[in-house]
Structure 1
Amino acid sequence: MLGSFSSSSHDEVEDPPPNVYHHRSLVSPPIHMRQLLISCAELVSRSDLSAAHRLISILSTNSTPYGDSTERLVHQFTKALSIRLNRHASAANFFMVPSSVATSVPTLAGSSSSASNDEALVHSSYLSLNQVTPFVRFSQLTANQAILEAIRGQQAIHILDFDIMHGVQWPPLMQAVAERFPTPTLRITATGSDLEILRRTGDRLAKFAHSLGLRFQFHPLIVLTNEDPISATSSVLILPDEALAVNCMHYLHRLLKNRDSVRLFLHRIKAMNPIVFTVAEREANHNHPFFQQRFVEALDHYAAVFESLEATLPPNSRERQSVEQIWFGKEITDIVAAEGEHRRERHERFRSWEVMLRSSGFLNVPLSPFAVSQAKLLLRLHYPSEGYQLHILNDSLFLGWQNQPLFSVSSWH
C-alpha cells in the first residue's frame, strides 16, 4: 500500500554565526521537538496566543538553520508559526510577536522594491534544488521518457509545458529527438508569469536546438492567475499534423483553490486530444481543510525531505541552505501561515489526482521498464544514498525517502 511505502524580509539565506557547525544547541530529542511544534500549532489554531508565544520562544532557542536535519526543520516551521501567530495577534489587536522573532521571519508578500530581488533568489534556489536533489530531475527525466515513447514515429511534435521555469527539462529530450531519422520538428508552447524569463528561456532552448540541427520554435504564453491556465488552453495553436504532449510538472496543485477549475482545466486538456499528458506532483496532503491536520502532514513530509538533504550534502553546503531556507522555506511558510485565497501550496496525494484524471476521461499509461531503470540509474549515479526508494503503484512511479513517499510521476492519455 502507498501509505506504507515502506530569513530576512527578502528571503535571503541566513549567514551562520562563527563556529555554528561545531555547536549543537538542540538538547531535546527529535520526537520531543516534533511534539512541541504540534502543540504550538494547536495553541495557534485555538488563538491561545500567550501560550503559543511561550512555545515559539522555546522552539526558537532550540533550533538553528545550520544544525542537523531536526534543528533545521524546527527552525523553518517555527518561523512559519511565528508568521501565523503574528497575523492572529494583529487581527485581534491583542498581542504582537517580539521583534527578535518577527524580524527573522520571511514575509509572504514583499514590497515592490524587493520583489525583483525575491524573484531572483527564488529562481536561484530552484536551480540549486535541481542540482542537489533528485526531486526535479526524477520528475522531468521520467516524464521525458514517457513523452519520447509516446511521440515515437511522429514528425511534428508540439509540447505544451505549464510553468516551464528555466526550461531545464527539455535539452535532454531535444537531443534525443534530434538523433532520430528523419529528424522531427519540435515546437514548445510554454507558460509562465514573467515574459522576460520566458523569452530568455526560449532563446537558450533555440540556441541549443540550433547546435543540434533541430528545427525548433518557441512560443511564450503568459499565465498570471488561477483562471488563466484554463483560458490559455484556448490560445494554443495546434497544427493538424502535430502530435501534442502536455506537461504539468508540479503544477496542477496550484489550481486546487477551486476544484471546479481543476476539473474544467483537465477537461480542456482532454479536449485538445494530447498523445500524452505527463503529471508530477508532491505525494502529500497539504490541502486538508483543518489546519492541525495540514500542519502534521507537512511536518512529516518535510522531515523526510530534510533528512534526505542531510544524508546527501555536507553540513556547510551553501546550496542546501538555499534550498531549505528559500525554496522549501517558502513552501512551509505558505502551508502553515497562509489561509484562504492566499494559500498557494495545496498538494494532494496521487489517489486524489487519479480520481480527478479518470473522471475527466484520461486513462493511465504504464511507465515503461526503461523509464524505471533510467530513474534508478539517476539515483545510483548522482544520489547514491540508500535512503532513496522507487516504487511502482497503479502504473505510476513514486520517489521516496526511507518509508516516506515524496513525489509521483504518471503518464496519461
Structure 2
Amino acid sequence: MQASQKHEICYGSVQTLESYHSSLAQTIESCSTSNSNPDLSSPSANGSPVLNSYMLKTQNSFESCLTQTQDIDDLSHKLHELETAMLGPDEEISVAYDADAVMYEAERWKKTTEMISRGDLKEMLCACAHAMEENDMETSEWLISELRQMVSISGNPLQRLGAYALEALVARLSSSGSKICKSLKCREPTASELLSYMNKLYEICPYFKFGYLSANGVIADAMKQENKVHIIDFQINQGIQWVSLIRALACRPGGPPTIRITGVDDSASAFTRGGGLEIVGKRLSALAQSCNVPFQFLAMEVSASDVDFQHLKILPGEAIAVNFTMMLHHLQDETMERLLRLVNCLCPKVVTLVEQESDTNHVPFYPRFVQTLNYYLPVFESIDDVMARDHRDRINVEQHCLAREIVNLIACEGEDRVERHETLETWRSRFRMAGFGPYPLNSFINFTIKNLLEDYSKNYTLLEKDGALYLGWMNHPLVSSCAWR
C-alpha cells in the first residue's frame, strides 16, 4: 500500500513538471511573437522622438525577453535533468534488477534439478542444509520431498545416516529449541530398552572399550605406588569402566590399594540405569569384595556443572584420579572452564580425557551439519561391517544411541544443544589454560588397545601421536584419549 502511494506521488510530480514545461513554452512563444517586428529598429525608420522612444523601449523589451528566454531554457534543461534522475534511471535499475533476479533464479533451479538427477545423497543433504541456512524455504522443502525417497533406516550406511539427518532437518525447519527436544524425548524407549541398546553398542563396536581401557591404563600406571586411591568419575553411567581396573589393581604386586570411587551423574543417566547410583555402588562393591579389594563408593546424584569442592569429600593421603570420558563436550564453555579449574585445585595425580574427535561446538549451522555427516558416516559403516542391515538390534542401536546425538547436533541451538564436540587440539588448549600439563602414555597401554582391536574389524585403526591415542575407522579418527596432571 505504501509503495502504491509512493508511485502515485512520483507520477503526480511528473505531470506537474510537464504542465510547467507547457507554460514555459507558451511564455517563450509569446516573447518571440511580441518582438517579431524588425523594421522598427531599422536605420531607415522615421527618427521622431516618439518613434525613437518606442523603438528603444521595444529593443529593451526584446533584449529582456531574450535574456528571459535563455534563463527559461537553462531552467527547462535543469528540470529535465531532475526529472530524468527521479524517474528514468530508477526504471532502468528496476528492469536490470528484475532481469538479474530472474536469471539467478533460473540458474539456481537448473543447478538444483541437475543435482537431483545425479542422485548424490550426501550432496543433496548438504544442499538442503545450506538452503536452510540461507532461509531458502522453497528449495529446502523441495529437497526434503526428494530426499524422503532416497533415505532408509535399513539401507546402506549413508542412507541410514541420511534418514536421521533428514529427520533432524525437518525438525529444525518445523520448530526450534526446547520444542524439538521435548518432541524427541516423547519417542524415547523405556529405561531397560535403552540400557540394552547401549550394551549392544558396547559389544559390537570398540569405541567405549577403547576409552575405558586407555583411561584405566593411565590410572593404573599413575597409582602403582599408591595405597589410597580416590577416583572421581564425572559421568559414571553403569560403572562398567571400573570393573577391569578393580580386577587389575587386585593383582598388583604387594597387594591392592584402598579404592574409593565418587560417581557423579544426573537424572538422565538414572533414567537409563532404571534407578539411582546405589545400583552402581552395589555392583562395584560386590565385585571389589570378590577380589578382596578394600572399597567404598560415594554417590553424587548431581550434574557435573553443579559440583563444588565440598561435594567431593577428599581425605588426607589420598591420591586422586579424575575421569572425563565422553562427557565434557556436554558442558557449555563457562561451566567447563569452572569445572577444570576446580579439578586443578584438587591437585590430582592424573586426569583422563576421552572425547569424540569432531568439531561441532563453535561453528555455524551449515559447517556443523557437514561435520556431523563426515563424523557419523564412518561410525555407521563400522556397524554395517558386523550386523545385517535388516537386523532389529542394529536398527535399535542406531535409532536410540546415535540418532539422538545426530538430531541434537542438527536440530537444536543454544542451551538445547548438548552435543558440542571438539578436537583434541582444542581440548589441549583448554587444559593448558586451566593449569594442566600432559601426562605421558606408556607403551603397555598401546599394546593393550592393539590386543583389543584384534577382536574387531581390520578397518579399525590405532594411531599414537603427540602423547595421545586415536581410534579410527579406515584412518578417519573418531575417538581420542589422553591424560593430564
Give the deviation of 1:184 after TM superposition: 1.3
- Structure with bigger helix share is 2
- Tell me which residue corresponds to 2:133: 45
SS in 2 for 1:187: strand
- Tell me which residue corresponds to 2:279: 200
- Tell me which residue corresponds to 2:30: none
Residue number among 477, 480, 484 corresponding to 1:405 in the alignment:
477
Aligned mates of 1:410, 1:38 — CA distance in 2? 33
Percent of aligned pairs with the same residue?
Answer: 33
- Tell me which residue corresponds to 1:174: 246
Give the deviation of 1:109 after TM superposition: 2.0
Residue number among 240, 246, 252 corresponding to 2:316 in the alignment:
240
SS in 2 for 1:407: strand
Which runs of 5 or more residues in structure 1 are unaligned?
1-27, 92-105
Aligned mates of 2:165, 2:444 — CA distance in 1? 39
Q: Which amino acid aligns with 1:50?
A: E
Rate the CA distance shift 1:127–1:29 in 2: closer, same or farther, 3 A: farther
Query: Residue 460 of structure 2 contacts residue 475 of structure 2 at CA under 8 Å; is this kept in 1?
Result: no
- Tell me which residue corresponds to 1:377: 451
CA shift digits 1:151-181 (9 cap, x unpaired): 0021111100011010110111001111223
Give the deviation of 1:40 after TM superposition: 0.5
- Tell me which residue corresponds to 1:71: 159
Aligned mates of 1:284, 1:268 — CA distance in 2? 26
SS in 2 for 1:411: strand
CA shift digits 1:103-154 (9 cap, x unpaired): xxx9522599x59845444433222221111100000010000000000021
Aligned mates of 2:146, 2:400 — CA distance in 1? 23
Q: Would you identify which runs of 4 or more consecutive aligned residues in structure 1 move more than 6 Å?
A: 28-31
SS in 2 for 1:218: strand
CA RMSD of aligned residues (A): 2.3
- Tell me which residue corresponds to 2:468: 396
Which runs of 5 or more residues in structure 2 are unaligned?
1-115
1:109 aligns with 2:182: yes
TM-score (ref. length: structure 1): 0.83
User: How many corresponding residue pairs?
Assistant: 363
- Tell me which residue corresponds to 1:58: 146
Query: Residue 121 of structure 1 contacts residue 326 of structure 1 at CA under 8 Å; is this kept in 2?
Result: no
Query: Residue 398 of structure 1 contacts residue 408 of structure 1 at CA under 8 Å; is this kept in 2?
Result: yes
Q: Which amino acid aligns with 1:43?
A: A
Aligned pairs for 1:114-263 within 5 A: 117-180=189-252, 181-194=254-267, 196-224=275-303, 227-229=305-307, 231=308, 233-255=309-331, 257=332, 259-263=333-337
- Tell me which residue corresponds to 1:350: 424
Rate the CA distance shift 1:322–1:239 in 2: closer, same or farther, 3 A: same
Higher gyration radius (CA)? 2
CA shift digits 1:321-361 (9 cap, x unpaired): 22211111000000000001110000000000001111211
Aligned mates of 1:283, 1:30 — CA distance in 2? 31
Residue number among 153, 169, 193 corresponding to 1:81 in the alignment:
169
Query: Residue 286 of structure 1 contacts residue 298 of structure 1 at CA under 8 Å; is this kept in 2?
Result: yes
Query: Residue 283 of structure 1 contacts residue 405 of structure 1 at CA under 8 Å; is this kept in 2?
Result: yes
CA shift digits 1:350-385 (9 cap, x unpaired): 00000111121111112111101111110112x1x2
SS in 1 for 2:358: coil
Aligned mates of 2:118, 2:440 — CA distance in 1? 39
TM-score (ref. length: structure 2): 0.71
- Tell me which residue corresponds to 1:14: none
- Tell me which residue corresponds to 1:11: none
SS in 1 for 2:238: coil
SS in 1 for 2:351: strand
